[in-house]
Amino acid sequence: MNIVHAILEALRAAGEMGWIILWPLVLGFALSGAIQAAARPEEISRLLPDDSPRSLARASLLGIVSSSCSYAAVAIARALVRKGANFTAAMAFQVAATNLVVELGIVTALLLSWQFTLAEFVGGPLMILLVALMFRWWVSDRIVAAAREQADRGLAGSMEGHAAMDMSVHGDQPLLRRLLSPTGATATARYFVMDAVSVWRDIVGGLLIAGAFAAWVPDTWLQIFFLADHPLAAQLWGPLIGPLVAVVSFVCSVGNIPLAGVLWNGGISFGGVVSFIFADLIILPILLIYRKYYGTAMALRIFVFFYAAMAGAGYVVELVFRPLGLIPTGRHAKVTDIGITWNYTSWLNIVFLAVAAALVVRFARTGGLPMLKAMGGAPPAAQGLPGVPPEAS
């Protein structure tokens, strides 16, 4: 009975956290779908010719509007490299696509606090800057050339089909007219469903892991591990250990926010939470994909540079936010004993579930279901779905 009770407690905690983040997820995916529907992916590589500040800024903005899951962002970045984009700019794109997106910020604010969302949008650009500098200083042209040669082999990783699909609205009409057209509605619905499907395992996995941590791991254990009783040591230890916890957690994208809340309640430093959230691009499965995409030499550099940038961003955020009084004094992330009641969250969930249902129906009625089968390891051209343009109906 104790085992059954423990499992039920973990599931209850996971379910309550899922209820809180439901409406912001739908909102974020819907906004992202609308933005991507108006984007023209064939133009992206042309906009990223080098690692200049202008190209890195463009890469970051394009990453933000793409709002991809970690696996899809990594696959898109490889596609950009193969089309001639600068390698460093492609890395900046995937960092922004997973760490500077709307749904991540909203969920972070709801489960943790607005200070963590602010830290995300301060630390994210800093991480991109650090990654760019390390690639410029310590990666030779020979290593980049070898990585491009490996990338051109086209070995499938994960979410290749999703990354290769162009579902945007083409034409010269004004942006709003394109989005409000039947074709725009179809494109938005397709991006919404495809993006949601690409991350559902990460979200559910993150909720289950966070629920298990919250129900089974005593806070006192976490406080000892994170040196919570030694403030200075905790501030030094947190940004170093945060990414390593992420590496072995196998959770990425929005799915790591509930676990970040558990770690925060357990005593990890503010900077440690920030570095943990940023570390979705170095979890073990993605590290193996880097090796397949770019070879061992470049994969090792990506891991080292990303880890250093994530830890560095955590330290800087801690140093800047602490004297400004922007670090929360309490550890009250909404991960346990939340409860589900009739409040604004419940009403917003009902409204946005209706929005989600409408988009899913639009997706199904316009021939979107076959696209779900093409999301995996092979690009759609290999599965008889070249380009997959949205229908106008």
pLDDT tens, residue order, the chain (393 aa):
477 777 787 787 777 777 877 887 787 678 767 766 766 555 667 788 899 999 999 999 888 877 666 777 887 788 788 888 899 999 999 999 888 888 788 889 988 999 999 999 999 999 999 999 999 999 999 999 999 999 888 666 555 655 566 666 766 666 567 666 788 888 888 888 887 777 677 777 777 877 777 778 888 888 999 999 999 999 999 999 999 988 877 666 677 888 888 899 889 999 999 999 999 899 888 888 898 889 999 999 999 999 999 999 999 999 999 999 999 988 888 766 555 667 777 888 899 899 999 999 999 998 888 887 776 655 554 444 434 444 444
Contact 261, 335 (CB under 8 A): yes
Q: What is the DSSP string of 29-82?
A: HHHHHHHHHH--GGGTGGG-SSSSHHHHHHHHHHHHHH---HHHHHHHHHHHHH
Q: Which residues contact 279 (CB under 8 A, 6 or more apart)?
A: 242, 243, 245, 246, 247, 256, 306, 307, 310
Dist. CA 204–CA 312, nearest whole Å? 29
Angle, nearest 10°, between helix axes 70-82 and 141-151? Answer: 110
Dist. CA 45–CA 258, nearest whole Å? 34
Dist. CA 105–CA 111, nearest whole Å? 10
- SS3 of 282, please? helix
Confidence (pLDDT) at 362: 92
- SS3 of 238, please? helix
- Provide the H-helix boundaries in the chain: 2-38, 53-66, 70-82, 87-99, 102-111, 114-138, 141-151, 160-164, 175-180, 182-216, 219-225, 231-249, 256-266, 270-278, 284-294, 296-321, 344-365, 369-372
| Angle value at C-alpha 116, between 158 and 302, nearest 5 degrees | 35
Confidence (pLDDT) at 383: 44
Angle, nearest 10°, between helix axes 270-278 and 296-321? Answer: 150
**Listed residue (254, 42, 158, 52) closest to 62, CA to CA:** 42
Dist. CA 146–CA 150, nearest whole Å? 6
User: What count of other Cβ atoms lies within 10 Å of the Cβ of residue 28?
Assistant: 23
Q: Is 386 left (phi over 0), alpha (psi -120 to 50) or beta?
A: beta
Let me know how long the chain is. 393
| Angle value at C-alpha 33, between 254 and 387, nearest 5 degrees | 110
> pTM for this one?
0.78
Tokens 């490996």 found at: 150
What is the Cα gyration radius of the chain? 21
